[in-house]
Amino acid sequence: MVNSLASSSDDRFIKAGSLVITFIARDRTPIPVTVTPGEQLNNSYGSFFHNDMIGLPYGSKMVARNRRGFIYLLRPTPELWTISLPHRTQILYAPDMSFITLKLSLSPGCRVIEAGTGSGSFTHVLARTVGRRSKNGDPSLRTGQVPKNWGGLPNSIQAPSRGTPSAAEEEKATPTPSGVETPTTEADGSSRGLQSVDSATVPEFDGRVWSFEFHAGRAEKARQELTAHGMDDVVKLSHRNVCKNGFGLEDAADAIFLDLPAPWEAIPHAPSALRANSIGRICCFSPCIEQVLKTVTALTEQGFTDIQTYESLVRTHESLAGQGPEMDVGDAIRRIKEVERRKEERRIQQIEKTRKEREAKEGSVTEPKTSSDTANFVKLDEGGRDQADEEPDMKKRKRQEEMEEVEGSTHREAETQEGVADDLAEEVETGEDHSPLTSSSSNKPKARNELLMTKKKARQAILLQEKKGNFQPATTLSRPYWEMRGHTSYLTFATLLPRDISATSRT
């Protein structure tokens, strides 16, 4: 059963060897899992057997066999990988990565240099952006790649801190392919890509990421990952110190991205690596403003122009469905008045009561001693009763208030409708239309809208509605999260104008 699914060619389904991002809960870091027959994922929500994952479509909700909890099996994307990947260094986050990609004007077929690779999160984004799809059926024609589904490294290597096997394996990570479909054997070939000169030739239908990392262990790990994910043709990774040794590329790249402690040491190597006959772009990523200053100086010295520095942050907003609609302050006034009225009523009743009791006492003067006793008793008794009554009373009052609230709100609606009572039915209808959380599907075309053939007329009708002042209180409120993802780095962009155009004279 499972076996037949393991060989499915339909790219909607998870296979043995597929990488899935397991999404557990909103506030939990997603975990990348390579689906490996026989293995299981354990967390506080239960045990999830990889065998059960095979054949499920990506995006499935997977319930633990004990039905206690569930997870979601998501298709990896560079963004999901970024938030779930095992960190080896400080990484770039989606907003920065998106903006850099846009500013460097990257698109399929472009050639881009990245130094250093770090944890490889941006490398994946670059690969997706500049890679071109390999042709189905004619792989000889094209080798560029942007896989829809990714393979994964064996779980013991992928995220040793999270998996069950010993963490000692991490450093000398030599992948042991165990039924994993993606060939990972090439990753341990130490000869691969290190010279970087051989990777300077790019097939004419391909895009290319040249990624450089000066830390041998990180370079190796990133290369293994990229190979397993199926991006090793579009990304050529080299273990190389670009500050000391340059990029080893001549007139080759459209853009350069530098995420280095001292980008100004690599910048002198940049102009020759960029293409001479067209505009070249560079982005330097540095957390400190002092680094930015040095970078800007180096860029200017190397002839870069249009130097721009940006900082990018993200604010996250939360919706609070239970918080609205906010009450009209008139409700508070009505409530206060009501409470006051009732208090006054009770006070009068109380006075009346004591007066009656006093009169009753005065009527029987024969036993003064006991009367005072009974009076005391009565008082005590009264107090006791009062206290006993207190709670049901409160409840009653609360219920009453609630009812009044409902009354109040209907009252309010009536008020708002008073002014525009010309067509009550229509008002009610539009009220429904505007309230966003009504469960009834608001997709049905309203009778009055059927007459509005043009968008302009429909727009005018809405404007007219606005003028009538038919405002609905918001039912869902929003609030930003109390914290925003802090500053990661400054982004410094610059361009290098084409140098390779023929010189001519000016009139």
Partner 1 sequence: MSADSIEKEQAGPSNSSSSHPTGTSTAHTPTPTHPSDPSESSLEAPSGSSRAEDDPNRSKPQNRERKPACGDGLKPNRSNNNTNNNSKGKNLAELTSEQLRSRITFIPSGQQVLLKLPSERLKPIVLQPGKNVSIGKFGSFKADELIGMPFGYTYEIAERGGGLSVVVDRTLAEIEATDATNENINDDGDSQKLTYVDIKAFKDAGLDGREIIKKQLEMNSSYDQRTAFSQAKYVKRKEQKHLKLFTPLPPDTMTIASYNFEKNSEKIRWMRPDALSQCLSFASIRPGGKYLVVDGISGLLVGAILERLGGEGSLIAINDTESPPAFDLLDQFNLPPQLTKNVLRTMHWAMTEKDYIPIFSGQEGLETSSSKKDKDKGRNKKRQALQDESARLRKDFQAGDFDAVIIASPYEPFSMIQRLRPYLGGSANIVVHSPYLQSLVECHARLRQSAEYINVSITEPWLRRYQVLPGRTHPEMTTSATAGYILHAIRVLTEEEALAMREKERAKLEAEDIQGSARPRDGEQAEIEAERDTKRPKIEGGKAEETINSSEAIATMDVDVASSATAPPSS
State which of positions 350-409 bind partner 1 (CB under 8 A). none
State which residue, 53 or 173, has the beta carbon closest to partner 1.
53
Stretch touching partner 1 by CB under 8 A, among 220-228, 277-285, 341-349, 353-361: 277-285
As a whole number of angstroms, the distance between CA 345 and CA 363 comes to 27
CB of 445 to partner 1, least distance (A): 11
Tell me if 461 contacts partner 1 by CB under 8 A: no
- Residues 6 or more apart from 279 whose CB is under 8 A from it? 495, 496, 497, 498
CB of 454 to partner 1, least distance (A): 9
Stretch touching partner 1 by CB under 8 A, among 201-209, 216-224, 359-367, 403-411: 201-209
Q: How long a stretch of residues is the chain?
A: 507
As a whole number of angstroms, the distance between CA 269 and CA 408 comes to 74
Encoded tokens for 396: 């009653």
As a whole number of angstroms, the distance between CA 62 and CA 49 comes to 10
Tell me if 207 contacts partner 1 by CB under 8 A: yes
Tell me if 311 contacts partner 1 by CB under 8 A: yes
Tell me if 220 contacts partner 1 by CB under 8 A: no
CB of 119 to partner 1, least distance (A): 17
CB atoms within 10 A of CB 106: 23
As a whole number of angstroms, the distance between CA 447 and CA 14 comes to 47
Tell me if 504 contacts partner 1 by CB under 8 A: yes
Tell me if 235 contacts partner 1 by CB under 8 A: no
Stretch touching partner 1 by CB under 8 A, among 197-205, 336-344, 385-393, 402-410: 197-205
Stretch touching partner 1 by CB under 8 A, among 162-170, 200-208, 220-228, 335-343: 200-208
Tell me if 463 contacts partner 1 by CB under 8 A: no
State which residue, 213 or 254, has the beta carbon closest to partner 1.
254
CB of 378 to partner 1, least distance (A): 57
Half-sphere exposure of 399 (CA within 13 A, CB side): 6
DSSP conformation class of 173: -
Chain Cα centroid distance, residue 112: 27
State which residue, 8 or 176, has the beta carbon closest to partner 1.
8
As a whole number of angstroms, the distance between CA 466 and CA 397 comes to 39
As a whole number of angstroms, the distance between CA 84 and CA 21 comes to 8
CB of 384 to partner 1, least distance (A): 49
282-301 burial, b if ≥16 CB within 10 A, otherwise e?
Answer: bbbbbeeeebbebbbebbee
Residue in 174, 176, 185, 201 binding partner 1, rule: CB under 8 A:
201
State which residue, 191 or 502, has the beta carbon closest to partner 1.
502
Site for partner 1 in 126-185 (CB under 8 A): 128-129, 131-133, 146, 148
Cβ atoms 418, 455 nearer than 8 A = no
State residue 267 phi and psi, 5-degree precision. Answer: -60, -40
Tell me if 288 contacts partner 1 by CB under 8 A: no
**β-pairing, 111-115 with 255-258?**
parallel
As a whole number of angstroms, the distance between CA 467 and CA 211 comes to 59
**β-pairing, 280-286 with 255-258?**
parallel
Tell me if 451 contacts partner 1 by CB under 8 A: no
Stretch touching partner 1 by CB under 8 A, among 158-166, 288-296, 366-374, 395-403: 288-296
Residue in 169, 170, 181, 251 binding partner 1, rule: CB under 8 A:
251
State residue 368 phi and psi, 5-degree precision. Answer: -65, -35
Residue 255's SS3 state is strand
Site for partner 1 in 289-308 (CB under 8 A): 289, 292-293, 296-297, 300, 302-303, 305-308
CB of 137 to partner 1, least distance (A): 13
Strand-by-strand arrangement of the 255-258 sheet? 235-239, 208-213, 111-115, 255-258, 280-286, 490-496
Nearest CA-CA partner of 226 in 131, 299, 319: 131
Residue in 4, 166, 191, 440 binding partner 1, rule: CB under 8 A:
4
CB of 37 to partner 1, least distance (A): 8
CB of 245 to partner 1, least distance (A): 19
**Would you say the C-alpha torsion 32, 38, 39, 42 has a positive or negative sign?**
positive
State which residue, 131 or 193, has the beta carbon closest to partner 1.
131
State which residue, 315 or 369, has the beta carbon closest to partner 1.
315
Element (H, E) at 41: strand 40-43
Tell me if 45 contacts partner 1 by CB under 8 A: no
Tell me if 316 contacts partner 1 by CB under 8 A: yes
Tell me if 326 contacts partner 1 by CB under 8 A: no
Cβ atoms 59, 76 nearer than 8 A = no
Tell me if 428 contacts partner 1 by CB under 8 A: no
**Matching residue, tokens 């920065």:** 96
CB of 316 to partner 1, least distance (A): 5
Residue in 153, 173, 200, 258 binding partner 1, rule: CB under 8 A:
200
CB of 241 to partner 1, least distance (A): 22
Alpha-helix residue ranges (DSSP H) falling in 230-273: 242-245, 263-266, 270-273
Site for partner 1 in 62-101 (CB under 8 A): 62-63, 65-67, 70, 72-75, 77-79, 94-95, 97-99, 101
CB of 323 to partner 1, least distance (A): 10
